[in-house]
Chain A
Amino acid sequence: MSGLVVLIPCAIGLGLVALGTFFWALRAGQYEDLEGAGQRILMNDDLP
């Protein structure tokens, strides 16, 4: 039982962190252009 006292808040806390991160990513516009993000990897940034 004493293990649960630590583990349950840990599990829920981690879940909340993930949820918070997702909300942050949404707000930061990271889901605005999923296709473009994949293509931009192929661009040469070091060229002028």
Chain B
Amino acid sequence: MTLELTDLPDELSKHNELSEYVERGPDGARQICFAVPDAYCATCIEAIESGLGKVEGVSNARVNLSQRRVVIQHDESLDLAALGPAISLSGYRNFPVDPADLSSKDKTMAELVRSLAVAGFAAGNIMLFSVSVWSGADEATRDLFHWLSALIALPAVAYAGRPFFRSAFAALRVGRTNMDVPIAIGIAATTTLSLFETIVGGSHAYFDASTMLLFFLLAGRTLDHMMRARARGAVENLARLQPRGAVQLHADGTSSFVRLAAIEPGMHLQLRAGERVPVDSVVVGEAGEFDLALVSGESQPVTIGAGASVPAGAANLGGVVQLEAMRASADSFLSRMASMMGAAEEVRTRYRRIADRVSRHYAPVIHLTAAATFVLWVVLANPHTALLHAVAVLIITCPCALALAVPIVHVVAAGRLFERGILLRDGAALERLAKVGVVAFDKTGTLTEGKPQLVGVDSDMQDALARAAWLAGASSHPLSQAIVAAAAGNDLGMAMARETAGAGVEAEADGIVWRLGNAAFCNGRDEFDDTQSRVWLSRNGEPVATFRFSDRPRPDAAATLQALERARVPSTILSGDRPHVVAAIASELGASDFRAALSPSDKLDAIAALRAERGTVLMVGDGINDAPAMRAADISMAPGSAADIGRAAADLVLTRDRLDDVPFAIALARRAEVLVRENLIFSVLYNVVVLPLAIAGYVTPLIAAIAMSTSSLVVVLNAMRLRFYKFDTTNEGASR
């Protein structure tokens, strides 16, 4: 296959794929969004924007540094395929972002911020009137100020309270309660009673309490939402360009781009080096070499010959391979994994968050207390006083501190995780992580590097490695790259080599023909050993050296398992690779247990067995075959290098690919759990203290305002302690 022939469909397919990412901007202009995850400074903005400005057809490019994205407005004359290289030329990695998952169009966030602004405006202005009333305004002024407060509070509560009213209504309609039910009832009752008091010219109105309450709660909720939006945006930025299609070869020898959904069984497809198989296929023509690490956990490259099948998601390591599609995309391996993930969701939906569990007991208690207070005071005094006191109970117990207790800790925790490059999707994941009883690791790509490394050279020749690197530099095969990496420092430059796909590379120097490749290519003698890959070096057809490769554990893998052991969390390995390979790694790293040769559904069963035996299961994995198990586990993590589907399944993403982030995250989650409990206990104690005062009728609007803001502040300050907490991950088992 010559270069000219392969280049043309490449550009063609890029353009076709990218046109799916183009959308219409607010002013009707065409725009496309690229993620630039490495941009962080003014110079980055300048380089990217000016680089794109030079591309013909680009009318405007603007970097959003908070989201690490650049939005490019352009006209029809633009060659979309030129954009990526233009950003790369400025020195930044980039890939297009699907407009469907742009988190900038976050409606909930916009609503929360607007509500927060309205509540803040109302609370501030009403507090101004309230202070004058509390300092002893005479009756006429007090009534005027109550009316003015009502004028501000009623629209503000109606507008800013919508998120709570909606959520409470939704919960009540299906016969459940959540934290928003007592909040919504408290706010509605306070506002209605205050309006009634204003109309009859009473002395107490609680408009300041109801708006301040809204302001505090909205602040907590907005922070919580911001944290999740930030993590989600960062995860989206990691997504690489999926195979959205393939190059189809027609019977007349021409080729064209075909979208993934349009691929039909029987179509002939062409797969270039480095590309992933789009749908389950059969190899036709020459054999190809494939990397199945993400598909099955198999750590060695596999040669698949003509007529044999290759699953979707396998990466082509060698030269151009021709495939015949076997299944449509919807029936392919990737899609089957996605549907298995959906079925495995059950554990997640069964989990009830701490705050919801507390509120289920809390809401009935306070509502009954309010009712009892009303009855008590109807007997002791009159219905008007009784109503005032009953509402005072609702106000003082309105779970402001309780509602802030959990999310504020999670926001601080997510901030600390984010600093270490750990992305937390959801606060509920943190609660489950604190209870983790066993960690299940995938092997290939998670505990190990996922790529072969040179582990030994058998040769009498002195500079065998340097000579091999001289040849290997010309090849992009993973084994060649491993040789180049191992030989760093003593190289002979790069050979003018010729590569034969599926065999090796060959070059000539000083009249000697050197060959680097498989046994047949170099006349080597292959003793079968399936734990290691081998490559031979030959001089004029005579084999002179053998290089052995295997997948090595990550440098911090053993330390991580030890740290987990100290934290009293046993670890086990669940791998799709062959038993003796997994056993070797398990004993080297000191894992307490392992299971090998697992299919994706075997992994699901293994997770269920672990849960029955040891409680909450954390699954750390990266491959396509791990995705269902990651959804089935109580909680899951994926390194940033994981397959897109694996990363999408994970609750936490370790963007820096460091395994010691696993014990750190567990330690942080446990510490956060302690703080959440402290906050909840404080909130309940606070209620126990002030509730008698409210029942006895001593709670004036002034006392309500002070009690509410103090309790919220205490909870927030307590959560801030997590910010300064020092984690000694080498010894964090003791800090429990």
Give A1-27 as 1s and 0s: 1 = Cβ < 8 Å from B's Cβ atoms. Answer: 100100010011001101100110010
Q: State the Cβ distance, B400 to closest chain A Cβ, in Å.
A: 23
The answer on a CB contact under 8 Å between A26 and B42 is no
Q: Is the interface of A mostly helix, strand, loop or mixed?
A: helix
Our pick among A1, A16, A35 for the contact of B66 (Cβ within 8 Å) is: A35
CB within 8 Å of B: which A29-48 residues = 31-36, 39-44
Task: Identify the stretch in B120-128, B206-214, B318-326, B671-679 within 8 Å (CB) of chain A at 4 or more residues.
Answer: B120-128
The answer on a CB contact under 8 Å between A36 and B45 is yes
CB within 8 Å of A: which B53-91 residues = 63-67
Known A-B contacts A1-B141, A40-B45, A43-B46; the reply to A12 vs B114 at CB < 8 A is: no
CB within 8 Å of A: which B81-126 residues = 104, 110, 113-114, 117-118, 121, 124-125
| Interface presence of B200 (CB below 8 A) | no
Q: State the Cβ distance, A29 to closest chain B Cβ, in Å.
A: 9
Q: Chain B contacts of A22 at CB under 8 A? A: 117
The answer on a CB contact under 8 Å between B66 and A23 is no
Our pick among B41, B46, B63, B124 for the contact of A15 (Cβ within 8 Å) is: B124
Q: State the Cβ distance, A13 to closest chain B Cβ, in Å.
A: 11
| Interface presence of B152 (CB below 8 A) | yes
Q: Closest A residue to B140 by CB, please name it.
A: A1
The answer on a CB contact under 8 Å between B45 and A43 is yes
Q: State the Cβ distance, A10 to closest chain B Cβ, in Å.
A: 12
The answer on a CB contact under 8 Å between A26 and B104 is no
| Interface presence of B148 (CB below 8 A) | yes
The answer on a CB contact under 8 Å between B125 and A12 is yes
Our pick among B42, B67, B125, B148 for the contact of A42 (Cβ within 8 Å) is: B42
The answer on a CB contact under 8 Å between A40 and B125 is no
Q: Is the interface of B mostly helix, strand, loop or mixed?
A: helix
Query: How long is the Cα–Cα vector from A4 to B124 in the complex, in angstroms?
Result: 18
The answer on a CB contact under 8 Å between B114 and A36 is no
The answer on a CB contact under 8 Å between B45 and A26 is no
Q: State the Cβ distance, A27 to closest chain B Cβ, in Å.
A: 9
The answer on a CB contact under 8 Å between B104 and A35 is no
Q: State the Cβ distance, B264 to closest chain A Cβ, in Å.
A: 43
The answer on a CB contact under 8 Å between B114 and A34 is no
The answer on a CB contact under 8 Å between A19 and B65 is no
The answer on a CB contact under 8 Å between B45 and A11 is no
Our pick among B42, B118, B148 for the contact of A40 (Cβ within 8 Å) is: B42
Q: Closest B residue to A37 by CB, please name it.
A: B65
CB within 8 Å of A: which B534-560 residues = none
Known A-B contacts A12-B152, A43-B42; the reply to A33 vs B64 at CB < 8 A is: yes
Q: Chain B contacts of A42 at CB under 8 A? A: 42
Q: Chain A contacts of B42 at CB under 8 A? A: 39-43
Query: How long is the Cα–Cα vector from A4 to B45 in the complex, in angstroms?
Result: 52
* Interface-central residue, A1, A22, A36, A41, by most chain B CB under 10 Å: A36
Q: Chain A contacts of B118 at CB under 8 A? A: 19
Query: How long is the Cα–Cα vector from A48 to B190 in the complex, in angstroms?
Result: 61
Q: Chain B contacts of A11 at CB under 8 A? A: 125, 128
Q: Chain A contacts of B128 at CB under 8 A? A: 11
Query: How long is the Cα–Cα vector from A36 to B67 in the complex, in angstroms?
Result: 9
Our pick among B45, B46, B110, B121 for the contact of A18 (Cβ within 8 Å) is: B121
Q: Chain A contacts of B114 at CB under 8 A? A: 23, 26
Q: Chain A contacts of B125 at CB under 8 A? A: 11-12, 15
The answer on a CB contact under 8 Å between A33 and B66 is yes
Query: How long is the Cα–Cα vector from A23 to B117 in the complex, in angstroms?
Result: 8
Q: Chain B contacts of A40 at CB under 8 A? A: 42, 45
Known A-B contacts A19-B118, A39-B45; the reply to A26 vs B64 at CB < 8 A is: no
The answer on a CB contact under 8 Å between A19 and B121 is yes
Q: State the Cβ distance, A38 to closest chain B Cβ, in Å.
A: 8
The answer on a CB contact under 8 Å between B66 and A32 is yes
Known A-B contacts A11-B125, A12-B152, A18-B121; the reply to A39 vs B65 at CB < 8 A is: yes
What residues of chain A have their CB less than 8 Å away from a CB belonging to chain B?
Answer: 1, 4, 8, 11-12, 15-16, 18-19, 22-23, 26, 31-36, 39-44
What residues of chain B have their CB less than 8 Å away from a CB belonging to chain A?
Answer: 41-42, 45-46, 63-67, 104, 110, 113-114, 117-118, 121, 124-125, 128, 141, 144, 148, 152
8 contacts between A and B (CB under 8 A): A8-B148, A12-B152, A22-B117, A26-B113, A32-B64, A33-B64, A33-B66, A39-B45
- The 8 A-B residue pairs whose C-beta atoms are closest, nearest first, are A36-B65, A42-B42, A39-B42, A33-B64, A35-B66, A35-B65, A19-B121, A33-B66
- Give me 16 other A-B pairs in contact (C-beta within 8 A), A18-B121, A41-B42 excluded: A1-B141, A4-B141, A12-B148, A15-B121, A15-B125, A22-B117, A23-B117, A26-B117, A32-B66, A32-B104, A33-B66, A33-B67, A36-B63, A39-B45, A42-B42, A44-B46
